[in-house]
């Protein structure tokens, strides 16, 4: 049991495979589950190295967050590092698939930072979950992104702009919102944070 708790600063990361439904109709269920498991196991390892907490998977979507259940101030950078490493892993994995004559699985990834509520509700099949506009915006960053790129919100950008090279995409339309500023993370600036495996 975890009483729902307010967190002032959490970074939520979403990934999703483009055209997954179409791809799923062309392979058998066992291969589909095996391939998803291969990806999500790798994602689990990556986010664990960057101090993020897995929240859940929904079909082909993967969701995790930093700054909970133990609060910290490093979570925006943690999430961006993890996102870059996930992109790097998927790119290498797709190269292997292509070399075997298999179709690549194209990934979009988005990150947003803000406040939210986290905890456990209900009375059956307990699951730790998160709620709030911060979560919705993270999902919008993913769906508004491009294949193989890390798309972040303006709030995340403000926390990480001294560590990462970011490309201002300007104000773009977002479902359920009018327009929002968003940024692609193109690389790492010279900082004292020299993590390995970020791609």
pLDDT per residue over 155-183, tens digit each?
999 999 999 999 999 999 888 788 999 99
- The pair phi, psi for residue 158, each rounded to 5°, is -60, -30
Where does the pLDDT of residue 90 fall: very low under 50, low under 70, confident under 90, or very high at 90 and above? Answer: very high
Cis peptide before 120 (omega within 30 of 0): no
- The pair phi, psi for residue 113, each rounded to 5°, is -120, 135
- Taking residues 63-70, report their average pLDDT: 96
Q: Which helix (H) or strand (E) holds 62?
A: strand 61-66
- What does the pLDDT read at residue 142? 96
**In terms of pTM, does the model score above 0.85?**
yes
- Taking residues 82-90, report their average pLDDT: 97
- Output the average pLDDT for the chain: 91
CB atoms < 10 A from the CB of 164, how many?
25
Where does the pLDDT of residue 104 fall: very low under 50, low under 70, confident under 90, or very high at 90 and above? Answer: confident
- Taking residues 66-78, report their average pLDDT: 96
Residue 105 CA: distances (Å) to CA of 49, 76, 84, 174, 193: 24, 26, 17, 24, 30
Lowest mean pLDDT among 17-31, 56-70, 94-108, 169-183: 17-31
- Taking residues 63-69, report their average pLDDT: 97
């Amino acid at each position: 049991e975890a009483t729902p708790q307010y967190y002032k600063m959490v970074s939520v990361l979403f990934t999703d495979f483009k055209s997954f439904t179409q791809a799923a109709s062309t392979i058998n269920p066992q291969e589909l589950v095996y391939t998803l498991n291969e990806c999500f196991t790798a994602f689990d390892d990556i986010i664990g190295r960057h101090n993020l907490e897995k929240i859940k998977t929904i079909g082909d979507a993967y969701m995790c967050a930093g700054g909970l259940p133990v609060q910290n101030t490093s979570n925006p950078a943690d999430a961006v590092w993890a996102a870059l490493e996930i992109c790097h892993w998927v790119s290498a994995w797709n190269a292997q698939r292509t070399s075997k004559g298999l179709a690549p699985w194209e990934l979009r990834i988005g990150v947003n930072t803000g406040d939210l509520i986290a905890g456990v509700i209900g009375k059956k099949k307990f699951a730790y979950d998160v709620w709030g506009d911060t979560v919705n915006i993270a999902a919008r960053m993913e769906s508004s992104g491009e294949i193989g790129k890390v798309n972040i919100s303006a709030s995340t950008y403000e926390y990480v702009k001294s560590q990462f090279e970011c490309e201002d995409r300007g104000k773009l339309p977002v479902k359920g919102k009018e327009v929002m500023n968003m940024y692609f993370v193109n690389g790492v600036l010279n900082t004292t944070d020299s993590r390995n495996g970020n791609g």
